[in-house]
Amino acid sequence: MLIKDWMKQDGVSVNTDSTVKEARRLMEVCHTRTLPVLKKGKLVGVVTDRDLKRAAPSDATTLSRHEIAYLQEKIAVKDVMTKDPVTLAPTDTVEQAAMLFLEKKISGAPVMDDKGRLMGTITQDELFKVLITLTGAWHRGIQFGFLLDDRPGSIKEVADIIRDYDGRILSILSSMEKAPWKSRFVYIRIRPMDKNLLQPLLDELRKVATILYVLDQTEGSRLTLGADVDAEPAEVV
């Protein structure tokens, strides 16, 4: 998944002489928390909502509202921005962006092309949208958590059973992180289905997989632990 397909391409930025008040207003209007800072068209920094909060007087200040507004009109973005910011390329992946954000403890970054031109920004908000899109969470539906053997065909077996019960699969995610030896975690989300078929479906799934949980979000978020690992039956409410 390339950044160019998920980044904000609105071209919103501020210059070094913009005031803190102007930057704050722009963030509110554009619904963003990160603004690239340009000087003569060249990227020289970024300013975030956190930077602006640090530049504002504390809640314990004795300044009046008008005095605070006056100060914010006098403080320039160049005085509070982060210089020489981390940047990403349009052809970098969103996974690279996520790892970079964690490593550098940042919430966003400008996206630059190979000629040093600003193409947009990528922030935590866009990464959240990626996660929601990949999992199919917008569609709610029903999610199953499985512990499967790490062998060829194990995911297909589960998916085929779900389809046999008219389950329409929205997403399949898999990870070996923290899974037992020679096993993997698999998470499958399906569209809402006939409730009368759910229990027979679970009975069939247990023949080939350990059910960790079933989350039915068709009528609200309700979690029922499958707890197959504790020899207790999984139920869907």
Lowest mean pLDDT among 47-61, 74-88, 223-237: 223-237
The two domains 3-132 and 136-225 share their CATH topology (first three levels equal): no
Alpha helix segments (H runs only) across 148-232: 154-164, 198-205
Query: What are the domain boundaries of the chain?
Result: 3-132, 136-225
What are the φ and ψ backbone dihedral angles of 112, each rounded to 5 degrees?
-120, 145
Mean pLDDT across the chain: 86
* Superfamily holding 3-132: CBS-domain (3.10.580.10)
Cβ–Cβ under 8 Å, residues 211 and 228: yes
Whether residue 219 has pLDDT greater than 80: no
Secondary structure, 3-state, 73-134: HHCEHHHCCEECCCCECCCCEHHHHHHHHHHHCCCEEEEECCCCCEEEEEEHHHHHHHHHHH
Gap between the terminal Cα atoms of the chain: 36
Q: What is the band of 233 on the pLDDT scale with cuts at 50, 70, 90? A: very low
What are the φ and ψ backbone dihedral angles of 143, each rounded to 5 degrees?
-115, 135
The CATH fold assigned to 136-225 is Alpha-Beta Plaits (3.30.70)
d(C-alpha 185, C-alpha 105), whole Å: 28
Angle between helices 65-74 and 20-30 (to 10 degrees): 100
d(C-alpha 20, C-alpha 22), whole Å: 5
For the record, the structure tokens of 143 come out as: 């999610």
pLDDT value for 208:
94
d(C-alpha 44, C-alpha 100), whole Å: 19
d(C-alpha 45, C-alpha 36), whole Å: 6
Whether residue 57 has pLDDT greater than 80: no
- Indicate the pTM of the whole model: 0.79
Nearest CA to 108 out of 34, 38, 23 is that of 34
Whether residue 3 has pLDDT greater than 80: yes
Q: Residues of the chain with pLDDT > 90: what percent? A: 65
